Amino acid sequence: MDRRGRALLGGDRLRILLMFFHAIAQTVAEQEVENLSGLSTNPEKDIFVVRENGTTCLMAEFAAKFIVPYDVWASNYVDLITEQAEISLTRGAEVKGRCGHNESELQVFWVDRAYTLKMLFVKESHNTSKGPEATWKLSKVQFVYDSSEKTHFKDAVSAGKHTANSHHHLSALVTPAGMSYECQAQQTISLASSDPQKTVTMILSAVHIQPFDIISDFVFSEEHKCPVDEREQLEETLPLILGLILGLVIVITLVIYHIHHKMTANQVQIPRDRSQYKHMG
């Protein structure tokens, strides 16, 4: 082999080696995840952080519960009865994640991987009357559950692993780019299960998530509050505002009455009875 051939072969080996190290670096980056649920004062809330290249690229705090219907035999062992399992995301769950410029993913596993939650986030640009605007959203949810797990499923018929997926074109938690999403109120997402004619309900609460554009390590950016929280906040503050306005109206009315009374008292009272005129002057 001539010198040129050896150089080309060496270049190919170098590219393969670089690709190998890049793949290892990506794998290591995906494994830079932390479960910080112990820092939360809410025993039902989990806190997950994904870090790449030594900095935070995804943060998620939320409480999650899944309502899962499943079949059991009736007492006659002929008919089927549908029961419901309530499965909460427990603290200490295993977590994996990956970050990208326009797509990020969070994966959570618990109860010896009997349950798996996958959440896919995407960032998009839209043309509006004000110009292009970027937003991010939760575009896909997948929940894998094992109905042979005895803690939540009692005597399930056809026990085994099932996968429940969100419907196509899911657009949840929509948030302007560069901001975090915050919502204390409960939010529900319906998931279609591989268990025939079963719909799994995912309930999220105490949510604070940011899968893109985190500026400070371990710190959320400015919050974008959900409409439900904004409405509840308005309902809480509206009575206070109305009370202040009513109090202000009462004060103004009393002041006007006092001024009017004082001005009236200083005026000379002209008697209505003409016979009293002789006593004046």
Partners of residue 200 on adjacent β-strands: 191
Is there a contact between 110 and 145 (Cβ–Cβ < 8 Å)? no
Partners of residue 183 on adjacent β-strands: 207
**CATH class, range 33-225:** mainly beta
Residue 225, classified by CB atoms within 10 Å of its CB into exposed (0-12), middle (13-18) or buried (19+), is middle
pLDDT for 220 equals: 97
Render each residue's pLDDT in the chain as its tens digit; 281 residues.
Answer: 555 555 444 555 545 444 444 444 444 444 489 889 877 778 889 999 999 988 999 999 999 999 999 999 999 999 999 999 999 999 889 999 999 999 999 999 999 999 999 999 999 998 877 778 999 999 999 999 999 999 999 999 989 999 999 998 899 999 999 999 999 999 999 999 999 889 999 999 999 999 999 999 999 999 999 988 655 444 445 455 556 656 665 667 766 767 766 777 666 555 555 555 555 54
pTM of the model: 0.71
Q: What are phi and psi of 74, to 5 degrees?
A: -75, 175
pLDDT for 259 equals: 75
pLDDT for 231 equals: 55
